Amino acid sequence: MSTTNFELPDVGEGLTEAEIVQWHVRPGDRIELNQTLVEIETAKSLVELPSPFEGTVSEVLVSEGTTVDVGSVILTVSIAADGRGADAGEQVSAAEADREFEEARADTASTIQHEGESSGSVLVGYGLGDAPSSRRGRRGARRAPGQGPAGADGAAQNAGAQAAKSALAEQAAATATEPASAGPKRLTSVPAASATPIIAKPPIRKLARDLEVDLQTVEPTGLVGEITRDDVIRHAQQASLFKNLETPAWGDVREERHAVKGVRKAIANAMSTSMFTAPHVTLFVDVDATRTMEFVKRLKTSPDFAGVKVSPLLIVAKAVMWAIRRNPTTNAAWTDEEYTVKHFVNLGIAAATPRGLIVPNIKDAHGMSLHQLAQAIEQLTLRARDGKTPPAEQQGGTFTITNIGVFGMDSGTPILNPGEVGILALGTIKPKPWVVDDEVQVRRVTTLTASFDHRLVDGDVASRFLADVATIIEEPALLLD
């Protein structure tokens, strides 16, 4: 039997230290290859560290909340001569017992969840019967032929789900045959015990839980009153603006002191370096985004974009890359000795997360179709919100977009992401009076703001770039040429 040290690795280029956030193992635990040992916070993201070996945890050397240097020993593991942990037979038996206990507890939780859901409204089209299981069944459990996961109870749930579907079909048919004079009606529910049933797919319900959104308060826009991903995200963004309207009490503590570390330290260093080394020049322009909003609406109803989040940010991203091709020096890197013009775009999207501002980027965004770019932006946003953005995704950006419009802001003066010479801010898009053909009309108007490194980007280039982006926002059909 031997003891092996587990050292804090460099999980990102240039990482020197990280904070221990949460241990997933304790002394005496049997660990397997690639099992998650610990979650750490670097200057860029949360990272789960897997085990490179099998064995038994001997000692946890660093407590949670401690910042340690790369290369420091944070865990020791005992490995037996046969490659397994000390007392392997006993450990495996104990692990098996624990697994059986966890399965029994999961079965109980699952039963409680199904009872809770069946006592209210049924998810239309996603009945409780025949639900796929994400875990293996308990030993000794047997399923009667033709029955669902829980035998007779599963069959009863199947019948209830079928009844719900039939009720939905009958209500839809009745709605379709009503006179036009009665006006349009939204099909919102199936007769059930709950007065306000919620129609949402399981992934949407999970997203709502992750964003702390109460689905009862969300206005559905999907077919037959179904809550969509956009509905949940829109509600979460609105709630984030107004949930702190009540002024909290300060309490008895006169001051709070927080160590400058992690993401906050990285943000402070990056912004100070950028602001005091690169001379910023900032331009503003108001844009009629009415046609962009109409284009976004058409894309949302297109079968080609089904299941993909589409927003004005998508069109702005495409417009930025079009403007970069026409003004190449806006997509460059500067040093005192030379500057490098990039003939590719790693498009950064500034994301406000619970851990602070990060700027992950989409690699080679210039070569993506509109559909591919929409998927990439959605995946990037969800990873950032979950704190799962890998360090590599935050390196190598060439140009950044920050969407301050989601916070209700019209404009601002964005600071360059270090290593880049351009950044664009998209303000809120809202109805405003606008002159069209010498007549005042109500149009959807936004403000675009762009900052550049004036050492490389002159005023005329900056102005042409921003004018090009505005041109696409005013007439997105130009993207199809």
Spans of all domains in the chain: 2-79, 196-242, 279-480
- Which of residues 103 and 382 earns the better pLDDT score? 382
Strand partners, 446: 287
CATH number of this structure's domain 279-480, picked from the four choices 3.30.565.10, 3.40.50.300, 1.25.40.10, 3.30.559.10:
3.30.559.10
DSSP, collapsed to helix, strand or coil, labels residue 481 as coil
Radius of gyration of the chain (CA): 28
pLDDT reported for residue 344:
96
Whether the per-residue pLDDT at 443 is higher than 90: the answer is yes
454 flagged as catalytic: yes
Q: Is the pLDDT of residue 312 over 80?
A: yes
What's the burial of 249, exposed, middle or buried (CB within 10 Å: 0-12/13-18/19+)?
exposed
Query: Measured between alpha carbons, how far is residue 420 from residues 5, 183, 351 in Å?
Result: 40, 54, 17
Which of 69-73, 105-109, 190-194, 320-324 tops mean pLDDT? 320-324
Whole-number pLDDT of residue 383: 86
d(Cα 335, Cα 277) in Å, to the nearest integer? 10
Band of the pLDDT at 14, cuts 50, 70, 90? low
Q: Which position among 114, 280, 371, 454 bears the catalytic label? A: 454
CATH of domain 2-79: 2.40.50.100
Among 4.10.320.10, 3.30.465.10, 3.90.1150.10, 3.40.50.720, name the CATH number for the domain at 196-242.
Answer: 4.10.320.10
Residue range 133-157: mean pLDDT, rounded: 42
217 pLDDT band, cuts 50/70/90, is confident
Residue 134 has pLDDT above 50, yes or no: no
144 secondary structure, DSSP code: -
Per-residue model confidence (pLDDT) at position 288: 96
Characterize the bridge pairing of strands 399-403 and 347-349: parallel
Percentage of the chain exceeding pLDDT 90 = 36
Could you tell me the pTM of the whole model? 0.56
Q: What is the pLDDT of residue 34?
A: 85
What stretches of 119-186 show up as alpha helix (H) in DSSP? 152-177
Q: For residue 92, what pLDDT is reported?
A: 41
pLDDT tens for each residue of 219-259 = 888 877 888 887 888 777 665 544 444 566 777 887 888 88
pLDDT of residue 196: 61
Task: Return the top range by mean pLDDT from 174-183, 348-357, 386-395, 396-405.
Answer: 396-405
pLDDT at 97 over 90: no
Same fold, 2-79 and 196-242: no
